[in-house]
Structure 1
Amino acid sequence: MRVPLFLIPVLLLLSLFNPALAQTSFSVRGFVRAAETGEPLVGATVAVPALQTGAITDARGFYTLTLPAGDYTLQATYIGYQTTTKQVSIINSDETINISMAAANSQLREVVVEANSLEQKFNANQMSVEKLTSKEAKLLPAIFGEVDLIKTLQLKPGVQSGSEGTSGLYVRGGGPDQNLVLLDDAVVYNASHLFGFFSVFNPDAVESVELYKGGFPAQFGGRLSSVVDVKMNKGNPDRLKVTGGLGLIASRLTLDGPLVKDKSSFILSGRRTYFDVFTRQINRLKENDKDYNPIPDYYFYDLNGKVNYKLGEKDELFLTAYHGRDFFGFEDDDFKFRFDWGNTVGALRWNHKFNPRLSANTSLVHSGYQYTISNRIDIFTFKLTSDIKDLSLKTDFDLLLDEGHTLRFGASATRHDFTVGRLNFDSDDNRLSFSAGNKYKASEFGVYASDDYLVNAQLSLNYGLRVSGFNSGGKTYFALEPRASAKYNLSESLALKGSYASMMQYIHLVANSGASLPTDVWYPSTPGVKPQRSQQVALGVSKLLNNGQFLLTNEVYYKWMRRQIDFRDGANLFVNDSLENDFLYGKGESYGTELYFEKIKGRTTGWVGYTLSWTYRQFDEINDGRRFPTRYDRRHDISVVLLHQLNKRISLTGAFVYGTGNAYSLPVARFAFQDVEGKEPTVVPVYSDRNSFRLAPYHRLDLGLILKLRPKRGESDLSFNVYNAYNRRNPYFVYFEQIKDENDEETLKFQGKQASLFPIIPSVTYNFKF
C-alpha cells in the first residue's frame, strides 16, 4: 500500500502511540556485522527463501523485512563470508534479529573491493556518490607509505587535487572551502596535515567514507560542492584487538575491543610523525658549527576515540572524539618562531527506536579549528590567531511507511564563534603594545524532510526540501533548498538516473593562495557579505556487464554558482579589521562528463575514471569583466587503478593519473623605469588575462606490493610502495630568475623556471594486527 504524502504527519503521530496500528504483517529488522571485527557489512543480503523476499543492508549494516505471522528461516549472504541462517518465529509482534557472519576461508577478500557490490551501486537511487573503506585505501600505493583516504578519493572521476601532493578536494568546479567534511556528524574545518600533504583521517580508525558530488540528500547543507561523510569504527565487540603500522615518516597504533560484553565496545587510535626526532638530533650534532643553519622542528599527531554503549533494546549511545595538531617551529638565542594548528571535535549521539518503524538519532556536537603563529625577536613578541568554534544540536528521524517507502526528516541548530586574524604585538618593557582583529558570532539552522519512494520495479524516487537560515550582525538570511533524484530501470542491467540540488553556503574560507593552507580564515555571512549559492543538475546512465562482473557509468552535470568570493588586487588578508571591504563578488559555472568503469570480483580488480570538464569564474572588477578559468579548471583528468593478487601472500597494486596542467597567471612583458638616478631601474611585470597560461600536464605512476607474513600470532604484512615510479618532475609552481650580464650589474632577461616537489620516493611499511 502506498501512503499519500498528506497522511504522513497523521500516521507519524499515531505510530508513536500505537506501534501496532493496522498491522497485518510484522517487521523483522536488525544489524548484520562481521563476527571478527564487529564492523557492519554494507550490501549484505538477508532473505527468506520460502517467501522469495529479501533486503539489502544499508550503510550501517541495517536491514528491514516485512513478513506475515509464521515460522521462517533467515539466510544472510555476503561475498567473502560464510552463509549464515537464523530461525525466527513471528506470532503477533515485530522482531529484532541481529546477525554475525564469520569470514570464509579465502584470502581474496583482502584484495577484492567488496564493501559496496556493483549490484548495490547499480540499484541505488542516489547518483554521484563514491564510497570507500579503509581496507580499500590500504591496498593502494601511498606517498611515504602513509595511507590517505582523501587522496584515494582524488582517484575518482569528478574529484581533483589542487596541486602536487595536496590532500585538498576540488569537486566539480568547487573550491576547497565548498566541501562539507564530517567525522561522525562533526564538522572538520581543516582536514589536512603537513601544509596540506596528508589528511587528518587515520585509516585504522575509519570504517568508511562516502563522497557526495551531487544530488545531495536533504539532511546535508552548508556547502556548495560536496559532502565527505566519514564514519569511525565502533570497535570489536567480542575481543581485544591491536592494529598498527611502522612507516617511513609516521607510526600508528589502534586498540579496540569490548568494554562490557554484548553492551559496549571502544576504539582508541593514535598516529604521530617523527621528523622532529631526527632533525633535533642532527641539530645537536651540528650545534658547534657556526656555518650550519638549524633545521626547523615539525611533527603532527592524531588521536581518535569512540565508545558505544547499548542501554537497552531501544537505546544506544555513541561518543566520538578527535584531536589533532601540527607543530612547526624554530628557536635560537635571539629568535623564536612557532606555528601550530589543528582540529578538536566531539560528538555524543543517542539512537532511539520508538518502534520497529520509527527511529531517531540525536547528536550534540562540538567542532573547533585554530591556528596560532607566534614570533619573538629580542624583546618583541608577535602573535596572530584565528579560529572557529561550533556547538551544534541535531536530530534525525527515519520512518518506514511501508516496504519501499521511507520518510526522513530532522532539524539542526549551530552556534558559530569566529576569531578573524587576532593580532597581539608587545614588548617586554611595555612601551609598545598593539592589537587588532575581529570576533563574530553567528547562528545557523536547518530543517528538512525527504521521501525515498519505490514507485514500482522500474522507477524509484527521492525528493525533499531543506529550509536553512543564518543570523549574524543583526542580519538573517533564509533559503529554500529543494533536492530530487530519480532512477529508472530500462532493463535488469541498464538504468537511467537524474538529480537536482540547490545548496547554500553561509560561511566562507578567506584564502591567500590557490592551495588550501592552515592560515586560511573562515568568515561568516554578514549584512555586507551574502551567502553563496549553487544549483546542480546531473544525468547519468549505468550498465552492468558480464552478469554483474563490471559496472560502466557515465554522468553529465552542469553547476552554476552565485555570489562567489574573490579579493581586490593588493588586498591584505592578515590584520585587516575591514576585510570584507576587499571582497569581490561574482558568479561561476562548471560542466562536464564523468566516465567510470569498475571491476571488483576476481584476482584482478580496479577502476578507470575519465573526466572532461570546464570551470569558470566571472567578476566585474577582474579581467575587465570577462570570465576566466579557475586554477583548478582541468580539461582532462584520467585515473587508472589496478589490484592483482598473484597468490595468497603477494598482491600487486598500481595507480596512474594524468591531468591537464593548472591554469596560471604569468607576466607577458616587463617595463623598467628609473626612479633614482644612479641606481638600477625598477622592473614591473605586465600581466594579460587572469589564468591565461597552463602549467605542464601532471602525470604520475605509483606502484605497490603487499607481502603477507606468517607470524605466530595474528596477521602482519610488509607494504612496499614506489611513489612517482618514473620520476616525473611535475610542476608545483613557476618562478622567474633574473639573468644578468657578466659583471652582475645589468638585467638582461627574466627566465621562467619550474619548481617540482616530489621525485621518485620508495617506502616500506610494516603493518600488524593481533
Structure 2
Amino acid sequence: MKIFFCFVFFGLSYSGAIAQTSDFQYTNVPLDKILLGIETSYDVKFSYNPTLVDGVSVTLSRSNTSLESLINELQKQTEIIFEKIDDRYYILKKNTLITVCGYVRDSNGNIPLQGASIVDVKDRSLGTISDEKGYFDFGEAHKADTLFITYLGYEPLILPVDKIKRQECGTYHMVLANFVLNEVVVQEYMVSGMVKSKDGGIVIDPLQMDLLSGQSEPDVLQSIQLLPGIESPTETASGLYVRGGVPDQNLILLDGIKMYNYGHFFGLISAFNPYITDNVKIYRSGTKPQYGDRVSGVIDIETDSKIPKKTQGGFGLNMINVDGFLKVPISKKLGFFLSARRSFTDFLQTPTYNNFSDRVFQNTGIDANNNNLGGDASGAEERFYFSDVNFKVILQVSESDKFTFSNFYTSNQLDYSLDFDQMDTPFSYDLNIENIGANARWNKKWNTNVSSTAQFYYSQYDLKYENSNPFVEERFVPQKTNNIKEVGCSLHTDWILKRGLTLSGGYQFFNNQVQYELSNSMFDESSNNNNPTYALYAQLNFEKERKWYFDIGFRSNFYGAVNEFVLEPRAYIEKVISDSFRVKGTLELKNQAVSHIIEFATADFGLENQVWALANEFMVPVLQSQQFSGGFLVNKKGWNIDVDAYYKDIVGLTSLVSGFENTNEIFTFGESTSLGLDVLIKKKWRNYSSWLGYTHARTDFEFDGLNNGKPFRGNNDIAHSLTWSHFYKWKNLQFSLGWKYRTGIPNTSAKAVQNQDGIYEIVFNDVNALTLPDYHRLDFSMAYDFALSKKDASTKGKIGFSLLNLYNKKNILNRNYLHTFALDEIGTNGEITPVDQLSLGFTPNIVLRFSF
C-alpha cells in the first residue's frame, strides 16, 4: 500500500509539473509528454499520428511564455508544422518546407554578386535575384527540391535544399568560369547578362540578359545600340556607327568567321540566332591586337561550345519569321547544334511586315509603282523572304583537346515585277544577297599555364542586283554585283608567365578576293582584286590586384594588294583608385584594306547602297585610324557610372562623289575626325533598374574635291544622343520601357537652276550645312515565362510582346532631291520639294516560344 501511494504521489507531482503555465523546464523530454502538458495548461487539443512524434525529444527552458511562443520553439526544434484550425484545435504535420535565404559572393575576393539568379531546378518560374549585398530571400522550398544559382562569368552552383541548415542564411561562393574574359569589373553593367570586363570590353550572354525595350526576344545587334557611343541613324540592326566610325569599319565575327552581311530585311533584323549564342564581346575602343583589318568597333560572337548532357531544343515564331534549334549529344565527347530561321513574308503579310515594308521600300521604284497601279500597269508581284542556318559540331578529344567545326548560311531574296500594257519588258527588281562561312578550330591546353588555338576559316559574300525598266534604255538601267571570297588561318597562344602576368601572341593569314561592278546612267565602274595579308601580333597583360591593369601590345600587317607594311600599337591601361572608383585610358592604331564605297543616291533603288571594295595602289587607299580615349568608372551600392571621352581620326575614306551630290567626278577621297563623350548612369533597386546613356559627339569630314577643301559635318554627325531605359521584373513577368532621343543628322539642300538651254538642273548648296529635325521614339516590351510541365522543368514556354514607336512619331531619317520633279513643282526661286525617308511607325510584334 505504501508503494501504491508513492506511485500516486509521484504521478500527481509529475502532472502538476506539466500543468505549470509559468514554467516549462525540460531537458530531452519526449515530445508527446510535452504536448500533453501544453494541452492541460492552455486548454487546447493537438491531433496527430503517433508515429510522427516517435523518438522526438525536445529541450525547453521557458517561463511565463505564451502558447504561440511555445509552438514556434517546438517548430524550430522539430520538422513538424503546427497548423491552427481554430482557437483550440491544432493539426500536426511533417514539415517538408525550409525557408531559404543567403548571400552570393565571389570565391576570390568575397565580393557580393548583385543580380545572381536563384531558381528552382524543377520549376524555373520560381526564383529570385540577389541584391547589391549579394543577399537573396527565396522563400520556402521543399526539402526534396534543388536550387540553381547562376551568374554571368561564373560556374553555376547546384544547391540541394535538404543540405541547407534551418533558420540560417548561408554564404554561397561562386567560382569564375574558365573563359577568356574571366575578370569582370561590373557584374551587371546595364542589365543582368551584361558585364564589363577588366580589359574595357562589354560581354553579353543573350539568354541571361533581361528584356530590353522594343525587343520581344533577344537581338544581339539591337541590344548593343543601347550602349553610349553606338548609334544606328537608319534604325537598322546592322547599321552600327561606333564612336564616329561607319558600319563597314566594324569587325564582326561569328565563331571566328568574318561577316560581310549580318542583317535581314535590309538590316532591320539581326542575322544572328541568340538561342545558340554563348557570349558576345563588344569593344568600342582599346581593342586587343588579335583583332585586325577594321578601324572601328569589334563585335565577337561565339556560339555554344559545350556538349549538352541531354537533347535540348526549342522553336518559336513571331510576326515575321519562324525558327528552331537543336542541341544533341551523340556521346559524352561528341555533340552538335543546329539552328534555322525563315521568314514567311513571301506568302503571308502581317501588320509588322507591312510596317517594315513601308519603311524599307519608301521612295523607291517599288513604292512608286505600288502607289500608281492602274491605267497601263497591272499584275504587280512582290516576293521577299530571308533565311539563315547555323550548324556546329563539338568533339572533346581529351581533357586538353577540343575540336569544333561550325558554319552558317544567310540569304535575302527580293523578286518584284510589274507588267505594262503594250510593253514587252516588265518593270522589275531582282536582289539576292548571300553570305556563307565555315570555321574549323582546335583548342589545346598544353599545361596549366600554356594554351593554344588554331583555326581555319572561309567566308563568301555575294550581292546581285538586276533591274529592268521598259521606259529607259537598257544601258541606263542600274545594275550591281559585289562578291567577296576570303580564306584565312591563325594560331594564337596564351602563356601565363606568373600570377598577374600573361603573354599572348599569334600569327594570322587571310586572302581577300573582291569584285564589284556598278553601272547606271552616270558611270560604269568595276574592279576585281586579290589581297593576301600577313599579320603578327603580341600582347602583354599585367595585373597588380586592386592597383593596376595593363594590356599593351602591337600588331604588324603586310597588305599584298598595295605592297604596304604597317605597325599598329594597342594599349589599355586602368588604375584602381579604390574598390569603387577607377580611371582608364586607351590608344590604338588600326588599318583596313576592305571597305565600303558609299553610293548614297547613285540609283533610284537604295535598299543595299554600299559596295565592298578592296584597297589598291591606284584608286582605293587603305583606311588608317588612330583613336585615344580616357575616363573613369564608379561602381558602388547599385550605382554604375561610366564616363569615357574619345578622339578618332580616320584617313583614306572613299566615296562615289554623287553621295555628296555636287560634282561630276566618280570618286573622291578624304578623312573623318570624331570627338565625343560617352556617359552611362545606372541604378538598380531589387527587381527594378533604370539607366541613362548619353553621348555628345562631333564628326567632321574633309575631302579635297568637296566644299573647297574645307571641313564639313560628317553624314553621321549626331551632336546629342540620349537613351533612358527602365526594366522591372515581377515573378515570371518582365517589363521594359525605353525612350530614345537624338539630334538630327546633317543634310545638303538643293534648288533647281535653269541652264543656257532652258533645262532645269539640280544644284546643291553647301555640303551638310542643314540639320534634319530631332529624332525621338518610345518603345515598350513585355515577356511572360511559364512552365509546360511540373515534372520536367526544362519544358517551358514564353510569350513576348513589343511595341516600337509607341506614340507613332514620324521621324525623318534622310532627305534628298534626286528623284524626278515636275516643272510646276519648282518655286519662283528654284525651290524643290524634298523627298523624305521616314522612320518606322508604330509597330507591334508578338513572339511565342517553346523549349525542352
- Tell me the TM-score range normalised by the shorter chain: 0.7 to 0.9
| Shift in Å, 1:671 | 2.4
Give the equivalent residue in structure 1 for 2:543: 454
Give the equivalent residue in structure 1 for 2:437: 345
2:605 matches 1:527: no
The secondary structure found in structure 2 opposite 1:501 is strand
2:279 matches 1:197: no
Q: Comparing 683-692 with 327-336, which one deviates more in the overlay?
A: 327-336
Structure 2: where are the runs of 5+ without partners?
A: 1-103, 114-147, 160-174, 179-186, 355-372, 420-424
Q: Structure 2 CA distance, aligned partners of 1:571 and 1:536?
A: 26
Give the equivalent residue in structure 1 for 2:396: 310
2:517 matches 1:438: no
Give the equivalent residue in structure 2 for 1:408: 504
Give the structure with higher Rg (CA).
2
5 Å-filtered alignment, 1:232-271, equals: 232-234=303-305, 237-261=308-332, 263-271=333-341
5 Å-filtered alignment, 1:62-101, equals: 78-79=150-151, 83=157
Give the equivalent residue in structure 2 for 1:596: 680
Q: 2:570 aligns with which of 480, 483, 486?
A: 483
| Shift in Å, 1:753 | 5.5
Q: Structure 1 CA distance, aligned partners of 2:406 and 2:499?
A: 33
Q: Structure 1 CA distance, aligned partners of 2:607 and 2:769?
A: 24
Q: 1:272 aligns with which of 309, 330, 342?
A: 342
Q: 2:807 aligns with which of 726, 731, 748?
A: 726
5 Å-filtered alignment, 1:454-603, equals: 454-455=543-544, 457-472=546-561, 475-513=562-600, 518=608, 520-528=610-618, 529-546=620-637, 549-569=638-658, 582-599=666-683, 602-603=686-687
| Shift in Å, 1:375 | 5.2
RMSD between superposed Cα atoms in Å: 3.8
| Shift in Å, 1:555 | 0.6
Give the equivalent residue in structure 2 for 1:399: 495
* CA shift in 2, pair 1:304/1:247, >3 Å: same
**Per-residue displacement from partner, 1:123-155 (whole Å, max 9, x unpaired)?**
x4322x333222366722437x56431121111
Contact kept in structure 2, 1:131 and 1:210, CA below 8 Å: yes
* Letter of the 2:785 counterpart: K
Contact kept in structure 2, 1:47 and 1:54, CA below 8 Å: no
* CA shift in 2, pair 1:746/1:527, >3 Å: closer
* Letter of the 1:651 counterpart: Q
**Per-residue displacement from partner, 1:264-317 (whole Å, max 9, x unpaired)?**
22211111111101369x9xxxx9999654241100001011111101122100
Contact kept in structure 2, 1:111 and 1:651, CA below 8 Å: no
| Shift in Å, 1:587 | 2.4
Contact kept in structure 1, 2:551 and 2:573, CA below 8 Å: yes
The secondary structure found in structure 1 opposite 2:234 is coil
Q: Structure 2 CA distance, aligned partners of 1:436 and 1:740?
A: 32
2:199 matches 1:126: yes
* CA shift in 2, pair 1:203/1:166, >3 Å: closer
Q: Structure 2 CA distance, aligned partners of 1:384 and 1:749?
A: 33
Contact kept in structure 2, 1:125 and 1:461, CA below 8 Å: no
* CA shift in 2, pair 1:390/1:764, >3 Å: same
Q: Structure 1 CA distance, aligned partners of 2:648 and 2:297?
A: 12
2:447 matches 1:359: no
Q: Structure 2 CA distance, aligned partners of 1:135 and 1:745?
A: 56
Q: 2:234 aligns with which of 155, 163, 167?
A: 163
* Letter of the 2:345 counterpart: F
5 Å-filtered alignment, 1:27-38, equals: none
TM-score, with length taken from structure 2:
0.69
| Shift in Å, 1:649 | 2.6
Q: 1:229 aligns with which of 278, 297, 300?
A: 300
5 Å-filtered alignment, 1:567-646, equals: 567-569=656-658, 582-599=666-683, 602-645=686-729
Give the equivalent residue in structure 2 for 1:693: 770
| Shift in Å, 1:417 | 1.1
**Per-residue displacement from partner, 1:503-522 (whole Å, max 9, x unpaired)?**
11122211202899645222
Q: Structure 2 CA distance, aligned partners of 1:405 and 1:222?
A: 27
Give the equivalent residue in structure 1 for 2:838: 756
Q: Comparing 343-352 with 371-380, which one deviates more in the overlay?
A: 371-380
* Letter of the 1:589 counterpart: T
2:786 matches 1:715: no
Q: 2:410 aligns with which of 299, 324, 334?
A: 324
| Shift in Å, 1:769 | 1.1
Contact kept in structure 2, 1:612 and 1:637, CA below 8 Å: yes
Q: Structure 2 CA distance, aligned partners of 1:666 and 1:206?
A: 45
Give the equivalent residue in structure 1 for 2:141: none
* CA shift in 2, pair 1:634/1:368, >3 Å: same
* CA shift in 2, pair 1:54/1:448, >3 Å: farther
* Letter of the 1:551 counterpart: N
| Shift in Å, 1:621 | 1.0
Q: Structure 2 CA distance, aligned partners of 1:418 and 1:534?
A: 22
Q: Structure 2 CA distance, aligned partners of 1:218 and 1:111?
A: 24
Q: Structure 1 CA distance, aligned partners of 2:779 and 2:744?
A: 19
2:844 matches 1:766: no
Contact kept in structure 2, 1:235 and 1:257, CA below 8 Å: no
Give the equivalent residue in structure 1 for 2:77: none
2:739 matches 1:656: yes
| Shift in Å, 1:218 | 1.1
Contact kept in structure 2, 1:111 and 1:643, CA below 8 Å: no
Q: Comparing 454-463 with 399-408, which one deviates more in the overlay?
A: 454-463
* Letter of the 1:131 counterpart: V
| Shift in Å, 1:764 | 1.3
* Letter of the 2:742 counterpart: G
| Shift in Å, 1:220 | 0.8
Q: Structure 2 CA distance, aligned partners of 1:759 and 1:113?
A: 27
Q: Comparing 484-493 with 595-604, which one deviates more in the overlay?
A: 595-604
Q: Structure 1 CA distance, aligned partners of 2:260 and 2:787?
A: 41
Task: Provide the aligned length of Structure 1 versus Structure 2.
Answer: 645
Contact kept in structure 1, 2:189 and 2:640, CA below 8 Å: no
Structure 1: where are the runs of 5+ without partners?
A: 1-43, 56-75, 86-96, 101-108, 425-434, 573-580, 676-680
Q: 2:282 aligns with which of 211, 223, 237?
A: 211
Q: Structure 2 CA distance, aligned partners of 1:218 and 1:45?
A: 33
| Shift in Å, 1:197 | 1.6
* CA shift in 2, pair 1:53/1:715, >3 Å: closer
Q: Structure 1 CA distance, aligned partners of 2:414 and 2:283?
A: 34
The secondary structure found in structure 1 opposite 2:833 is strand
5 Å-filtered alignment, 1:1-16, equals: none
The secondary structure found in structure 1 opposite 2:295 is coil
* Letter of the 1:115 counterpart: G
2:193 matches 1:115: yes
* CA shift in 2, pair 1:589/1:374, >3 Å: closer
Contact kept in structure 2, 1:112 and 1:603, CA below 8 Å: no
The secondary structure found in structure 1 opposite 2:616 is coil
The secondary structure found in structure 1 opposite 2:226 is coil
Q: Structure 1 CA distance, aligned partners of 2:445 and 2:156?
A: 30
Contact kept in structure 1, 2:105 and 2:111, CA below 8 Å: no
Give the equivalent residue in structure 1 for 2:222: 151
* CA shift in 2, pair 1:323/1:698, >3 Å: same
